[in-house]
């Protein structure tokens, strides 16, 4: 059995030629080799899975810390060799190679010392010490991962090659169809040419003419033929048009003959005069309607302009009304607050006056301070009373404006 690394080096993707230069047979050969490679990889993966299923994975991982990787690799190779020997017939050289490997593993086993010792938890630990150090090699898990990745890449490349071959086969089929059509067209042209030669052979001289003369003669014949065909087509088209015109004229004449036979021309004149009078009346009515419609449209335009203006005025009035209501509500909210502040100022003034009368001695600093506070409070009281008066006047003005806006709003609506 070859290793996965050797197969990677030998697989058919290590070629410098592009797939487009391959023949179809070469492509099919590469596909067969790839299928074989994938079969062998699947088989090797199955062997690995069987080995891991039979042997405890945890035990292998536990012993891996003490055992050398090389001994483990040798045992796995022996197992795989024996397994493959049972499942598939091999050559004599491969069988001898397997026996050599198995004998090497036996020697390695004899040289290694097995012993068990107790841990701190009173558990037995199995360990192996190899007397001869061996070369480190790839363990089972890495080999399985490598095989899986290689198998995946092979499958992807196989799918790519299959798609490319299918595309090439489609192109070849299309080319074959095109060549068949061209061949049929060429055969048709050759048959026409042979017929032409056989028909016009009597016109040519008996001795064999040169190629240039023959080509000139053919060109002259073709020109003459094309001219004749063009003239005939023009004549045919002109004759067809004349026939169509004559047919139309005849149809019209027959229809006129059918209609004119039972007609009374005097009645027709009377009806014509009546129709003219009705037409004049209808035209006068139409003119009147046009004028009235024009006037109506002008009025409509004016009404639309007025409506737009009134709608704009109504919107403005609504906004003004909202603003006035907000201001009135603000002033109404401020009035009780101002009155409360006036009351508080009045109480403070009364308290200060009583304090000055009863407790404070005149002509002292405390007396002067109290008098100053009293003057300031009286000024504040006067200012607040004035503000209340102004607020009431503003409220009255705003209410008057609101009362004026209501009829204007009704007119706008």
Distance CA 299, CA 396 (A): 42
Q: pLDDT tens, 356-383?
A: 777 666 666 777 777 788 888 888 888 8
Distance CA 365, CA 375 (A): 15
pLDDT the model gives residue 318: 80
CA nearest neighbour of 83 among 113, 49, 109: 49
More confident: 101 or 272: 272
Least confident window among 138-142, 330-334, 385-389? 138-142
Query: 345 burial class (0-12, 13-18, 19+ CB within 10 angstroms)?
Result: buried
Q: In the chain, where are the structural domains located?
A: 4-176, 210-261, 267-412
Torsion over CA of 268, 272, 273 and 278, rounded to 10 degrees? 140
Average pLDDT estimate for 195-199: 72
pLDDT the model gives residue 347: 83
- Return all residues near 90 (Cβ < 8 A) that are at least 6 apart: 84, 98
Q: Which residue has the tokens 């074989």?
A: 36
Check if the beta carbon of residue 341 is closer than 8 Å to that of residue 384. Answer: yes
pLDDT the model gives residue 141: 67
pLDDT the model gives residue 267: 78
- pLDDT at 95 > cutoff 50: no
Fold of 267-412: 1.20.120
Q: pLDDT tens, 123-175?
A: 444 444 444 444 344 456 676 677 677 777 767 777 777 777 777 777 777 87
- pTM for this entry: 0.25
């Amino acid at each position: 059995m070859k290793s996965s690394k050797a197969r990677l080096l030998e697989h058919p993707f290590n070629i410098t030629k592009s797939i487009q230069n391959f023949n179809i047979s070469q492509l099919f050969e590469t596909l067969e080799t790839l299928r074989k490679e994938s079969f062998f990889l699947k088989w090797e993966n199955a062997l690995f899975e069987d080995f891991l299923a039979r042997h405890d994975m945890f035990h292998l991982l536990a012993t891996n810390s003490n055992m050398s990787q090389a001994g483990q690799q040798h045992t796995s190779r022996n197992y795989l060799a024996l397994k493959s020997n049972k499942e598939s017939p091999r050559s004599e050289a491969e069988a001898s190679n397997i026996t050599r490997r198995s004998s090497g593993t036996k020697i390695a086993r004899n040289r290694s010392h097995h012993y068990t010792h107790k841990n701190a938890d009173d558990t037995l630990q199995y360990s192996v010490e190899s007397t001869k150090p061996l070369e480190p090699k790839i363990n089972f898990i890495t080999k399985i991962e490598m095989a899986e990745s290689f198998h995946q890449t092979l499958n992807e490349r196989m799918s790519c090659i299959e798609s490319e071959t299918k595309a090439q086969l489609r192109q070849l089929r299309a080319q074959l169809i095109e060549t068949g059509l061209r061949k049929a067209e060429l055969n048709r042209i050759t048959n026409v040419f042979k017929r032409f030669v056989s028909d016009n052979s009597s016109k040519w001289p008996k001795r064999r003419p040169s190629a240039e003369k023959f080509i000139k003669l053919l060109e002259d014949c073709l020109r003459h033929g094309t001219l004749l065909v063009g003239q005939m087509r023009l004549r045919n088209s002109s004759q067809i048009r004349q026939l169509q015109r004559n047919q139309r004229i005849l149809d019209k004449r027959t229809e006129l003959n059918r209609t004119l036979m039972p007609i009374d021309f005097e009645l027709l004149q009377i009806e014509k005069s009546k129709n003219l009078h009705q037409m004049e009346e209808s035209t006068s009515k139409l003119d009147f309607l046009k004028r009235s419609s024009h006037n109506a449209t002008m009025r409509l335009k004016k009404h639309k302009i007025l409506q737009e203006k009134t709608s704009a005025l109504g919107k403005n009035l609504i906004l003004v009304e909202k603003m006035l209501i907000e201001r009135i509500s603000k002033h109404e909210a401020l009035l009780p607050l101002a009155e409360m502040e006036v009351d508080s100022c009045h109480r403070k003034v009364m308290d200060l006056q009583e304090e000055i009368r009863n407790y404070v001695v005149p002509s002292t600093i405390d007396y002067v301070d109290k008098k100053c506070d009293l003057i300031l409070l009286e000024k504040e009281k006067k200012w607040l009373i004035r503000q209340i008066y102004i607020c009431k006047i503003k409220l009255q003005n705003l209410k008057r404006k609101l009362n004026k806006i209501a009829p204007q709003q009704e007119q706008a609506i």
